[in-house]
């Protein structure tokens, strides 16, 4: 798996460009956040073709670049869990006011449900984990083959996602992390929505929120 990280906006959101191989031109974009200009430049310079945008959740700092990508690549499809789907179209729910803007995107083409246990992305088979708590429809995507998991704002290096926003739930988030993520192999690389990469083993040992 080829993973490129582009850090976007004042909230320094980790946006990921994912391909099965380095020479592959089609790619998937995970969480295109605020100020997506550097992401668009990256895609154009490398002549990449985004075919889908997968959103780990619906907060503004993870969805703000959706319409910009749709403008340049009209055929791109947007994927989000059904419990966060309204955040795309509702600025009040996606917390736009906190970013000093009004982000309102068109509806997603694909709405994931709890019935969806796997998602095929650019030739890579990901196991889907619904991890509510930061938002009701937070998801994580795990590739057993590559030992990689994209966790959005569910888990960070030494921390966890905020639960003091509307619809946040601390107990649900802790339960989701412990029952779905911490059972992954300790060497699994964790790609969070903000901050540095970590591993499942590192967080099991040292994350103060999970003891």
pLDDT in tens, 13-39: 999 999 999 999 999 999 999 999 999
Tell me what pLDDT residue 100 has. 84
Instruction: Tell me the two tokens of residue 6.
Output: 């582009």
Query: Which residue matches tokens 């083409």?
Result: 109
Give ∠ CA 87-89-94 in degrees, rounded to 5. 35
Tell me what pLDDT residue 101 has. 87
Q: What is the pTM of this model?
A: 0.97
Tens-binned pLDDT, residue by residue, of the chain (211 aa) = 999 999 999 999 999 999 999 999 999 999 999 999 999 999 999 999 999 999 999 999 999 999 999 999 999 999 999 999 999 999 999 999 888 889 999 999 999 999 999 999 988 999 999 999 999 999 999 999 999 999 999 999 999 999 999 899 999 999 999 999 999 999 999 999 999 999 999 999 999 999 8
Tell me what pLDDT residue 66 has. 98
Tell me what pLDDT residue 97 has. 85
Nearest Cα residue to 62 out of 79, 45, 77? 79
Separation between Cα atoms, residue 84 and residue 38, nearest integer Å: 26
Q: Is 72 helix (H, G, I), strand (E, B) or coil?
A: helix
Tell me what pLDDT residue 63 has. 98
Tell me what pLDDT residue 99 has. 80
């Amino acid at each position: 798996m080829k993973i490129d990280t582009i850090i976007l906006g004042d909230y320094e959101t980790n946006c990921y460009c994912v391909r099965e191989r380095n020479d592959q031109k089609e790619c998937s974009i995970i969480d295109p956040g605020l100020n997506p200009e550097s992401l668009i430049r990256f895609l154009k310079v490398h002549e990449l073709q985004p075919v889908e945008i997968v959103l780990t959740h619906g907060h503004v700092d993870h969805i703000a670049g959706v319409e910009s990508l749709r403008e340049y690549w009209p055929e791109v499809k947007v994927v989000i869990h059904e419990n966060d789907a309204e955040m795309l179209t509702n600025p009040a729910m996606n917390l736009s006011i906190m970013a000093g803007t009004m982000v309102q995107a068109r509806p997603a083409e694909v709405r994931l449900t709890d019935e969806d246990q796997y998602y095929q992305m650019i030739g890579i088979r990901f196991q889907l984990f619904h991890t509510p708590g930061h938002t009701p429809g937070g998801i994580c995507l795990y590739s057993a083959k590559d030992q990689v998991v994209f966790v959005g704002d569910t888990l960070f290096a030494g921390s966890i996602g905020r639960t003091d926003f509307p619809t946040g739930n601390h107990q649900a988030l802790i339960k989701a992390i412990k029952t779905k993520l911490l059972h992954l192999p300790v060497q699994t690389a964790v790609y969070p929505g903000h901050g540095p990469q970590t591993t499942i083993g590192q967080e099991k040992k040292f994350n103060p929120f999970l003891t």
